[in-house]
Amino acid sequence: MNTYPPRRLRYIVLALVSVVVIFSLLPTYNKQTAGQSPNVQSPSTGRIQHLFNKESDADKRIRTDRQKQVREAFQHAWKGYRDNAWMHDELMPLSGGHKDPFVGWAATLVDGLDALYIMGLTDEFENAVKAVESINFSRPNSERVPVFEVTIRYLGGLLGAYDISGGKHPLLLKKADELGELLYKSFNTPTGIPVPYYWWDKPNDNLQGENGVLVAQIGSLSLEFTRLAQLTGKKKYFDAISKITGYLGEGQSKTQIPGLWPSQVDTTGPSFDGSAFTLGAWADSLYEYLPKQHLLLDGKTDTYLKMYHSAYESMVKYHFFRPKAPGNPDILFPGSLIARGRGNTPSLNDEVQHLGCFVGGMVGLGSRINNSAKELEVAIQLTDGCVWAYQNTASGIMPEIFHIAACPASGKCEWTDTGHTAPGHQYGFTELSDTSYQLRPEAIESVFIMYRLTGDREWQNKGWKMFQSIIKHTTTKLANARISDVTSSSPKQDDSMESFWLAETLKYFYLLFSEPDVVSLDDYVLNTEAHPLRQRDHLLG
């Protein structure tokens, strides 16, 4: 069990001052957010986590042994980064080189901060915090700043580390605010919607909207900017994302599939007229943030929950499908959609993405907020779908993108292998569009959430099998590498390790085998990069 350091009086005073500042001013941009505040006063949402009973000695031995192995895997990868790519964004785990695709602010270091703390790696955490002091977040090391990626990895990482360590490192909040001020400049457009890529060293008084912007790039900033507003007392951060929320809310019922947003949008209007819809890449975290923002705001506004309800209804109606699979398992997958005009049933594409595996966890959180056993059952079926995809390859790892035959909307759905097996494979997939595994966390994310929601230890067993397969095939001498073909029993490794391997994937595995009060879902909201943001201003004491 982790024991968090005692809170210090000056941080309590600082947080109280923040409450007063934010409550003195309210956003007034539109009807959806008028009169709402990013701050909270008292809990209004119900329990999220299962009420766990004391575990047996035998269960504890199994759990702690598994947790120990996850921690060792993390230490191995962290050492490889520290020794070979320190202060760079990513380690190249085969050659020992490094890459800087995210501005060069040491993405792996900042992204991994709260994981170090959670795993009790105190010395490494303290050393990493000291290293953060040398990073100048007001001056990027590249010409342009990818606003979404920097927000979820860096801003989320700094805030998550600040919150999980009990606010004992004010430097982290100072650096988060420094970064927030830079990112805030990207919102200086006619609509107030930020540019997806901010050219920071050019004049920013005439930034313009763009067409073809990924909807996740504008819809996945709410958690981080809200928490930054809560902790700093700077209302402008919350106002900025509230304006985006207003546009999304106003446009949600006017898209070609009401309730859902197209994967690409025109931010000059803004316009949501696109015809391609997905829960995977390009749109994923927009939907994920709706129930999570509701929790972070402690249910003090129903704006985000209403948006989630509307989206969920359309997901169930159009996105989720039961597949034809060996053994006829009781599982669901989220497919993608092509609109055929308002009022017409959209066309389902039975493409499944590993990125879409977060949906089970999202629906699970929504089921707790809504107190809906039916929604929880859907969440279990979706999560089991991704577990099935792990169990049915030669490597034991889910492909990045595959197709699987969808059952008809009504009537029987019985598996037959004729015409329903990808050439050269016997897994039930009809097509394998991308056989790689990129060290992604989405499947284990939902498995972790299912365990915390249900208390069913079978989720730990499912996750453990996933971990064993991943570690077997990705471990290198230095760290861990993505693999190119999960349908091979001996897949080739590629020289790449993104920061989310440490920030998300291994963290979720570790938390799956932690005691339930470690990063409790009743106390924290995890952003899309798995950074724990404290709910209900617990720093107030």
The answer to whether 267 is a known ligand-binding residue is no
**Catalytic-residue membership of 250:** no
Query: 201 an active-site residue?
Result: no
Three-state SS for 528? coil
Q: Which two tokens stand for residue 267?
A: 């931010």
Has 400 been annotated as catalytic?
A: yes
149 as an active site residue: the answer is yes
Given the residues 400, 498, 504, 537, select the one marked as catalytic. 400
**386, 443 Cβ separation under 8 angstroms:** yes
Q: Give the up-direction half-sphere exposure of residue 367: CA atoms within 13 A in the CB hemisphere.
A: 22
117 half-sphere exposure, CB direction, 13 A CA radius: 28
The encoded tokens of residue 394 equal 């030669």
Residue tagged active-site, from 111, 149, 445, 498? 149
Q: Which residues pair with 437 in a beta bridge?
A: 483
Counting every residue, how long is the chain? 541
H or E element: which one contains 447?
Answer: helix 442-454
Quickly list H helices, 267-421.
Answer: 284-296, 303-314, 359-370, 373-391
CA dist 502 and 93 (Å) reads: 13
Rounded CA separation 247/33 (Å):
11
| d(C-alpha 467, C-alpha 428), whole Å | 22
Annotated catalytic residue within 90, 111, 239, 442? 442
Q: Which of 89, 111, 114, 284 is catalytic?
A: 284
Neighbours of 236 (CB within 10 A): 16
- Bridge partners (DSSP) of residue 336 are 349
Q: What backbone phi and psi angles, to 5 degrees, belong to 66?
A: -65, -45
CB atoms within 10 A of CB 106: 26
Locate the DSSP E strands across 476-521.
Answer: none
Q: How far apart are CA 167 and CA 15, in angstroms?
A: 10
Q: How many Cα atoms occupy the beta-carbon half-sphere of 334 within 13 Å?
A: 30
Annotated binding site: 528
- The set of catalytic residues is 149, 284, 400, 442
Annotated binding site for Ca(2+): 528
